Amino acid sequence: MNTETDIQAFLDYLRFERRYSQHTWENYQRDLLQFSQWLDKHAEVGSLNDVNEFSVRQWISQLHREGLKSRSLQRKLSSLRSYYQYQIKHKRLSLNPAIDVRAPRDTKPLPKTLDIEQVTQLLNIEGDDFISVRDKAIIELFYSSGLRLAELASLQMADIDLTGALVTVTGKGNKTRIIPVGSKAVEALKNWLVHRSLVNRKQLGDLFLSRQGSAISHRNIQLRMNHWQKKQGITQSIHPHKLRHSFASHLLQSSGDLRAVQEFLGHSDISSTQVYTHLDYQHLASVYDKAHPRARGKKKD
């Protein structure tokens, strides 16, 4: 049997014996034909049935370099494994060349951050009205202590120690951690507490309140950050988690202490924190490229 006949016999098996849907067996057909065509151009094998593990790895690696995602690569490997298992079942092959090949994992995109100048621009909020003072305290605290949105929104008055410049945070898994609060955030919070006392008619314990004296919602916090991003003339979108990423990245750049950053962020696994080392290296590479005389080739006269 030739390759096309082998593939068709396998597809008929999927369609009529296994009762696979048309969409599913068409995916198998597309994957097998694509691999077969690639073999004709790139591999020194006669047909699909002459393939070894190295050829399968080569094909998957090329698709990965071309930008195909891990899920799509896994499906293609599944198609190959099923095809070769069918050939083994019918005594045409003895080994499955795709059985031990695994798709590369997708690399997680690095979290986007603001640079220090952008953070300074954002926090340059003027005005002594209720909303401005409250929003400044919220954004200062986000950046000062690297809080998650849910953590900040749930803060109670009892969680803030302005004398000691500390905040007690209840994070994921109901785990509690105590984090320092920067001097700028402490000042902003002191100003906010004066305004808060004027609207807290319900005697709520929540740290941040609306003008009506109710606890401020997650959605309202996000909308206020969007407002200040536009008002302060920042083109990059801003959300609470971007301030958390910025806090972590800037702290790591200054201290180099990954374990401390892990504690601040409340990560149970340091692998979650290690992404910021990549951001730090990106920053160093950028500085090097701009400043080092041997980083780039000089223009010819």
* Residues catalogued as catalytic: 148, 172, 241, 244, 267, 276
Contacts of 35-44 with CB under 8 Å at 24 or more apart are: 35/59, 35/76, 35/80, 36/3, 36/7, 38/62
- Residue 178's SS3 state is strand
C-beta neighbour count of 66 within 10 angstroms: 7
CA distance 147 to 240: 8
**By C-alpha distance, which of 196, 197, 194 is closest to 208?**
196
Beta strand 160-161 with 166-170: parallel, antiparallel or unpaired?
antiparallel
Contact assessment for residue 184 and residue 123, using Cβ atoms and an 8 Å cutoff: yes
Contact assessment for residue 215 and residue 204, using Cβ atoms and an 8 Å cutoff: yes
Provide the token pair at 161.
Answer: 């120690």
